[in-house]
Amino acid sequence: MSRVLFLCTGNTCRSALAEGIARARLGPESGFTFESAGLDALDEAPATPHALAVAAEAGVDLDAHRARQATREMVERADCVYVMTRSQAEALARMGSPGGDRVTLLDPAGEDIPDPYGQDLDAYRRARDRIRAAVEARLGEWPVGR
């Protein structure tokens, strides 16, 4: 596996955090390409101020992040696609996107990671912590250093 795609709704909170956390955790020499996008994103929108703040608290820099709309091509070229909710997985299936076997909920327990958009900083911290734990758990599935 070399290309990992994280998807959420707007690509300004959850998937941006997941991408940033994975990239910071593994570093540029990992051989992985991490990307994120949104199923209903406004292209070029920055990460939300609260996402920037909670990312910085975790040592992750999202200043350069800009939202991207998910495309069929992104999903097709990804080796692994992680979504935040079951409804996002269902939306991908409705798009008829190939690679459905590579689409998985980020949370290994199969739980949705709620969208903190429009909520307070504590909601963003809870989302960040769940995303960080899920990314850490998923790292064990990737052939890092092999």
Residue 93 to residue 5: CA distance in whole angstroms: 16
- Beta strands 3-8; 33-38: pairing state: parallel
What digits encode the pLDDT tens for the residues 114-143? Answer: 999 999 999 999 999 999 999 999 988 876
Contacts of 24 (CB under 8 A, 6+ apart): 58, 59, 60, 61
pLDDT confidence of residue 99: 65
* The two structure tokens encoding residue 48: 């939300």
Domain ranges in the chain are: 3-139
Could you list the active site residues? 8, 14, 115
Continuous segment of H or E residues that includes residue 91: helix 86-94
Stated pTM of the model: 0.94
| β-bridge partners, 83 | 7, 105
CATH of domain 3-139: 3.40.50.2300
